[in-house]
Structure 1
Amino acid sequence: MKLLSASLWLSLLLPAAPAAWAQANTIPSQPHLLVKGEGARTVMPDRFTVELLVKSTDLQPDVARSRVQGNVEAVLAAFRRNHALPASVLADNLTIQPDYRYSVQGKQEYLGTRVSRRLKGSFGTTGDLQAFLRAVDASDDLQISSMRSGYSKEAALRGELKAEAATQTRASAKQLAGAYGARITGLYSISDVAPNFAYGVQAGSWPRSADMVTPPSPPAPAQTSVEATGSRGRESIEAGPITYTENVYAIFLISDGT
């Protein structure tokens, strides 16, 4: 089998290997290996963010604004009392617009001026978030729009995972080249976006390392439930582990080892 033909088949057989920076939109005409590297890490979240919508509609705009302002001040006070991270607390500017509804006859009816603001804050523990939610009197005018968990060192972690994935591509390429009696002569391209070439392999269909060798799964950390009550009933969120993954796709030029 000619080396060029062999290289095309090798690119289909590679174990995974992720992380990169500029997508390769072309392939070299000379023999090459296309490999994927993958870096993954599971962590427990240490940031718990809640977003709220404060709104009010009234025929008198100042009445609506006053209600919204009162609710905003109550939410900001609850953030402070329950140890929200100061830099995370944000309140958008007032939004003012006309409010309408449709009658049974399908006619548009003017309700008044709608005033609204969105607020957001993060907590370092689920206990603080739970205390905040208990302190908020949710209603049609003060709604919890979302709650989510995160990891404070996500950016640094993703950088580490990219480096791990890049290292994995080099090791995979070296192993494959050696198995076919070839040697690597250089790096042609590297990307963190899966290439879409005429290999029969599309983005998202690459095999993962975990699909080839599956180690025993570690016991899942206990999950913590956080509940809030309000006029719309019970809302809950679970703080479980978060898995971050970074992929790298690299094309290495090869030649006969002889």
Structure 2
Amino acid sequence: MTKRIMQVAALWLMAGLAFAQANSIPSQPHLLVKGQASRTVMPDRFTVELLLQATDASPDKARQIVQTNAANVLALLSKHNAVPDSVSASSLSIEPDRAYENGKSVFKGTRVTRRLRGTFDVLGGLQAMLAALDTSPELQVTSLRSTYSQGGRLRAELKREAAQQSRRTADGLASAYGTRIIGLYTISDVAPDFAYGVRAGVWDTRESDDQPAPPAPPAAQPAIGGTVDVTGSRAASESLQAGAITYSENVYAIFLIAP
């Protein structure tokens, strides 16, 4: 036990030293630079989440209502080609349903709830599923999200590009001032907190005028928004609008320099 405590303490000490170095200024001459890379893509995954609930004096009746709605929703997800591995359903949740009336807690019955989720790789499938869905107090669309399936790979690429940009910036500054880079002191994707008077969000990363301008965002295409308008009890898929998704990665580096 003592050995384990010492190991944990050593890990905390190492983490503290790393954090301290990341937020310390070297005594040697140095350059602090930021590299940034971003890319705009169109979403290719569209996720819908639904809440199924029912309240009744009979717990079994409330359960049957929820289970019937769940079966209908799962059938629609399958019919309109939701990605099979993305379809999931939570366990049934059962609890008393109470409301305050005239300052008193009144028992309304037993509330049974369940949540369902499914993802489409084609927006048309989601639109068709919503067009066939009747919403009600017992069956609600709670959220719609659009994502990019290769987001993890893209972030890794952007991080590499940001690191390369930070090196180019440092090389340009060193050359302009007649110095040379002799080593790397720290590099991090978390903005350092120095007494430079500059913080993340206000760094100007524009390169010289002879650099090509970044590509324009992709042309607008039908995609999913964050809300669904409901007319009567029919979910209106026509209200789905979309925008592109912009990924951005930053890298902060301190390079040691010498004449």
Percent of residue pairs bearing the same amino acid type = 55
Alignment check: 8 A CA contact 1:39 1:161 kept:
yes
In the alignment, which residue of structure 2 is the partner of 1:247?
250
Give the aligned residue type for 2:206: S
In the alignment, which residue of structure 2 is the partner of 1:206?
203
Give the aligned residue type for 1:246: E
In the alignment, which residue of structure 2 is the partner of 1:190?
187
In the alignment, which residue of structure 2 is the partner of 1:222?
220
Matched, 1:173 2:176: no
In the alignment, which residue of structure 1 is the partner of 2:14?
none
In the alignment, the residues of structure 2 paired with residue 58 and residue 71 of structure 1 have an alpha-carbon distance, to the nearest angstrom, of 15
In the alignment, the residues of structure 2 paired with residue 33 and residue 233 of structure 1 have an alpha-carbon distance, to the nearest angstrom, of 60
Of 14, 28, 31 in structure 2, the residue corresponding to residue 30 of structure 1 is: 28
**Superposition pairs for residues 68-217 of structure 1, below 5 Å?**
68-103=66-101, 105-209=102-206, 215=213
**Structure 1 residues 45 and 90, CA gap change in structure 2 (3 angstroms):** same
In the alignment, the residues of structure 1 paired with residue 162 and residue 94 of structure 2 have an alpha-carbon distance, to the nearest angstrom, of 48
Give the aligned residue type for 1:164: E
Q: Please, which runs of 5 or more residues in structure 2 have no aligned partner?
A: 1-17
Report the RMSD for the aligned CA atoms in angstroms.
2.3
Of 52, 59, 62 in structure 2, the residue corresponding to residue 61 of structure 1 is: 59
In the alignment, the residues of structure 1 paired with residue 154 and residue 223 of structure 2 have an alpha-carbon distance, to the nearest angstrom, of 26
**Structure 1 residues 211 and 99, CA gap change in structure 2 (3 angstroms):** farther
SS for the counterpart of 2:220 is: coil
Q: Give per-residue Cα distances to partners, 1:34-84, cap 9 Å, x unaligned.
A: 111111111111111111111111111111111111111111110000000
**Normalising to structure 1: TM-score of the pair?**
0.83
Give the aligned residue type for 1:88: S
SS for the counterpart of 2:241 is: strand
Q: Give per-residue Cα distances to partners, 1:155-184, cap 9 Å, x unaligned.
A: 101110000001111111111111111111
More strand by share: 1
Of 26, 35, 47 in structure 2, the residue corresponding to residue 49 of structure 1 is: 47
How many equivalent residue pairs?
A: 234
